[in-house]
Each structure stands twice: as C-alpha cells, then as structure tokens.
Amino acid sequence: MNTTVKEFDRIRGEVDGKFVIGIIGATCPGYDYSPDMGFVVGNQIRTFIDSPEVKAKFGDKVRIFTGGVEGIGVDAFMGVVSAEPDDTKFFALIPKFDMVPDDDMGVHIMNKSKKPVLRRERYSLPTAYKNIARIKNTQCREVVAGEDMSDRRAFVAGIADVLVMVNGGAGTLNEAMNALRMGVPVIVVGRTGGKTGILGLRASGVRQIGAMEPPFFYHKYEAQEMNRFLQSRDIDDSLIIFADNEWDVQNKLKSIINTSNVS
C-alpha cells in the first residue's frame, strides 16, 4: 500500500496539481445518455476552475482528467478544449498496457472455448482525443498509471480530490466505489443514466434489489454485484453528492472546494 500511495503522490506531482478533478463515465453509454451531457460537464468544469474564487485558493494548480477511453471521456475532453483550446490543465490517465484481440488479417483468433485470444500491447490513446486536439491546435497530455486497466482504476480514486460521475457502467461504478472508500467525494450527475441510479439508491437507503425488477431489470449476477455495493459498510454515504443535471455540477464543485482543506 505504501508503494501505491507513493505512486499517487508521484502522479499528482507530475501534473503539478493542488486540486484534481476526475470525470468518470461509460466507454459505451446507454440510450439515456447524450454526448452533449459529457460535453457540458467538461466545459463547465474547465470554465469554473478559471473563476476568481478557485484561482484565489489554488492559483493555476487545478487539474482535470478522464480515464483516456472512448465515450464520455472523449465528450468531456471536447467540452474542456471548447472552453480553453490551449489547455495545460487537462490530462488523460492511461494504463501502460491493454489486452486486445489477437487477429490474423483482421480475423479474430479463437480458442477452444470460441473466445477471442487476447494479446498484451502498449495502450494507445483513442484517436478521437488526438483528432480533437489537432482540430483545436493543442495537445492531449497522457499520464501513465498502472500496468493495465484494472490498475488504472485504482489510480483514478487515488489521485483525485473529487470525481464527477456521468452515466457509467460496471467499471465506472468500481471507480466510484474505490473513491468513496478512500474518502473522496463523488458528484453524481443526474439524468445521465447508467449506474448513477445505483448511487441514488444507496444514498436513499436502499440496500437490496432483486433480479429483473424495475427500474433497472438487472440479471441475477449483475443484481448480486449491485447488492454488494448497496450493502457495503465501508462507504460514507455523505460523500455521494447529487447534481440535478450537467449544468448543476459547478454549484456542487463550488461547495466542495469551499470546504476543502487543500490550499
């Protein structure tokens, strides 16, 4: 654990951040998400950190990051650079390696179980980030954290002072759970769908859901996973903060920053 803490500190030192905001969300968001939601979140956060009250407390040392994957991360990055094209306050937190399907001339190689054979290769930031940066005549900074995606998820909570959750799947929920267990507040953006509803149930006192029951209709094993989160005793529910929608994120960030002991 000490080594991990040192790594958290190393990355915060590398990005030179006194207050670090992470935006987390699904790589493939569900139907209830629209790309403009992630865009507005990125835009509003980037605008907010240049406000006089934030600069008075942290100077130019507030940083924003996503997990460097497709989906909501790309939408948020587009929102960030729309507010400030020549940006040095954003970075993508990426793993060193990724597991990708092994193929031969574009045909996936299958094992005896008819599952794709995977190979390990260097992680490459999705082209969408690079194209957006190129159009805006800027760069997307890449910061490496962990050997693979599983490692990288631990760093998401470890380097952040607050996370903003937009939509989200199982991986996003895992990042939010890690954060709450580490005492990091999570702003849940309402009406964006995905696993945000599970945090809503947790905060309202629900401790169990059944399989194939409304409003989520989770299958048996997914419901079991959700119940483990709902029944976890090492989570402080007061750290789950709800924004009415993407435009309300600034207000919730303001309350967190005003009570932050970081300076």
Q: Output the tens digit of pLDDT for each of the chain's 263 residues.
A: 455 788 999 999 999 999 999 999 999 998 899 999 999 999 999 999 999 999 999 999 999 999 999 999 999 999 999 998 766 899 999 999 987 776 654 555 555 555 667 788 999 999 999 999 999 999 899 999 999 998 899 999 999 999 999 999 989 999 999 999 999 999 999 999 999 999 989 998 999 888 767 666 678 878 888 888 899 999 999 999 999 999 999 999 999 988 877 65
Three-state secondary-structure class, residue 205:
coil
Token pair 């750290």 is found at 239
Residues 77 and 90 sit within 8 Å (Cβ to Cβ): yes
Residue 137 is classified by DSSP as T
Dihedral class, residue 137 (left if φ above 0, else alpha if ψ from -120 to 50, else beta): left
Q: Give Cα separations from 9 to 24, 52, 98, 152 (angstroms).
A: 20, 27, 24, 15
pLDDT score, position 2 = 52
pLDDT score, position 116 = 67
Q: Give Cα separations from 27 to 160, 167, 221 (angstroms).
A: 20, 10, 21
Give the integer Cα–Cα distance in Å for 187 and 41.
Answer: 11
Residue 166 one-letter amino acid: V
pLDDT score, position 51 = 92
Token pair 């990055």 is found at 77
pLDDT score, position 1 = 47
pLDDT score, position 105 = 45
pLDDT score, position 258 = 83
Give the integer Cα–Cα distance in Å for 206 and 210.
Answer: 11
For residue 197, what are the contacts with CB-CB under 8 A and spacing of at least 6?
215, 216
pTM of the model: 0.91
Which domains are delineated in the chain?
A: 2-96+123-194+235-258 (3.40.50.450)
